[in-house]
């Protein structure tokens, strides 16, 4: 197994540890930003722009992504395509009006819009 294949498992493990209070959420977020994630698309990205999966939960619109290929099963009924992308690139380039829902395959975690705004501000050049 390559390092890239091991990272999603590490991300799921860190998410569980953060939920249990064993580590800070900062460590989880830093790992997420440095991980290759998958953006499900309802249309073939080779034929045009990505048509991402958006889910409304309690009046909040979330961009739904997957931390690994197995986690893409959560959106397979609506999105048969996916684009691998660096977590940091996604956060900086995504629609700023959306929050983010990260499917881990059997679990998930969310990044609220204010947190994403802070991450984008920290990532922009001074």
Q: Is there a domain that residue 40 lies in? A: yes
Q: Which tokens belong to 68?
A: 């690994």
Which token pair is 73?
A: 């099963």
Instruction: Provide the 10 A C-beta neighbour count for residue 72.
Output: 20
- Check which CATH number belongs to the domain holding 101 and give it: 3.40.1350
What is the domain range of residue 64?
36-123
User: Is residue 98, in this structure, part of any structural domain at all?
Assistant: yes
pLDDT at 3 over 60: no
Q: Is the pLDDT score of 2 beyond 90?
A: no
Residue 4, pLDDT above cutoff 70: no
Please indicate, yes or no, if residue 119 is contained in any of the structural domains.
yes
User: How many structural domains comprise the chain?
Assistant: 1
User: Do the domain assignments include residue 30?
Assistant: no
Q: Which pTM value belongs to this model?
A: 0.87
- Whether 14 is in a domain gets the answer no
Is residue 1 in some structural domain? no
**DSSP structural state of residue 1:** -
Q: Which pLDDT value is given to residue 105?
A: 86
pLDDT tens sequence across 67-102:
999 999 999 999 999 999 999 999 999 999 999 999
Task: Name every residue whose Cβ is closer than 8 Å to that of residue 31 and which is 6 or more positions away in sequence.
Answer: 7, 10, 11, 14
Q: Which of 22-31, 36-45, 116-125 has the highest mean pLDDT?
A: 36-45
Query: Given pLDDT bands bounded at 50, 70 and 90, which one contains residue 5?
Result: very low
Q: Which residue is associated with the tokens 């920290």?
A: 122
Give the confidence band of 6 by pLDDT, cuts at 50, 70, 90.
Answer: very low
Query: What does the mean pLDDT of the chain come to?
Result: 89
Q: Encode pLDDT of 30-73 as tens digits.
A: 999 999 999 999 999 999 899 999 999 999 999 999 999 999 99
The pLDDT, as a whole number, for residue 11 is: 84
> Is residue 26, in this structure, part of any structural domain at all?
no
Please report whether residue 90 resides in a domain: yes
């Amino acid at each position: 197994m390559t390092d890239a294949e091991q990272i999603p498992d590490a991300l799921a493990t860190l998410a569980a540890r953060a939920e249990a209070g064993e580590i800070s959420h900062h460590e989880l977020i830093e790992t997420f930003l440095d991980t290759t994630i998958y953006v499900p698309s309802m249309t073939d990205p080779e034929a045009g722009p990505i048509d991402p999966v958006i889910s409304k939960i309690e009046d909040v619109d979330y961009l739904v992504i997957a931390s690994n290929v197995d986690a893409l099963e959560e959106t397979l009924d609506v999105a048969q395509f996916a684009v691998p992308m660096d977590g940091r690139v996604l956060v900086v380039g995504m629609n700023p009006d959306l929050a983010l829902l990260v499917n881990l395959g059997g679990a998930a975690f969310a990044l609220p819009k204010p947190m994403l705004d802070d991450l984008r501000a920290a990532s922009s050049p001074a």
